[in-house]
Structure 1
């Protein structure tokens, strides 16, 4: 999901959602998202929860098709499940979740900085 700060600079938000429990495990805001960011967040969740997902369902964004995330997933026995390009219906729950995030948070807040955006995203979560 992407949005703008008050000065027009774009930022992106990575959402990590458990498809079974529907719980939002993490939202991370950054200027750009790289595979290393996804790995760092997944490692933090692994340490916090002492468990890993069996699979990660994702679109074909550059942060998900990176070598670093592929290596991390392989080393931890996690299967990467990619949706077909241009087919958001392959990930209906996350698309719905991201739509709610946009409607209930991104569209109603004015973000002064990345830190401000992260704080508001955490409060929404």
Structure 2
């Protein structure tokens, strides 16, 4: 029921505030200038922006959904993560070090 967000422009919009209010979701803002309040999401947001948002043109909402879903699958099933021994996250679910097919 709570989403932890930073002070980025994508998280302080009226539209997001309205969306959260209508769904009973609390937006928990980290302190300005304190990215260590939520280091995991800061790292994820940086990777998502650099590897997905900054590398694609989105021609429509469906195109954006498709490209983001493709990135999400790669991020979770193929891409190695240094925090978990250079394995993809899916390997933790499978109990192995090998990635499964997306």
More strand by share: 1
User: Which structure has the greater CA radius of gyration?
Assistant: 2
For normalisation by structure 1, the TM-score amounts to 0.40
- TM-score, scaled to structure 2: 0.47
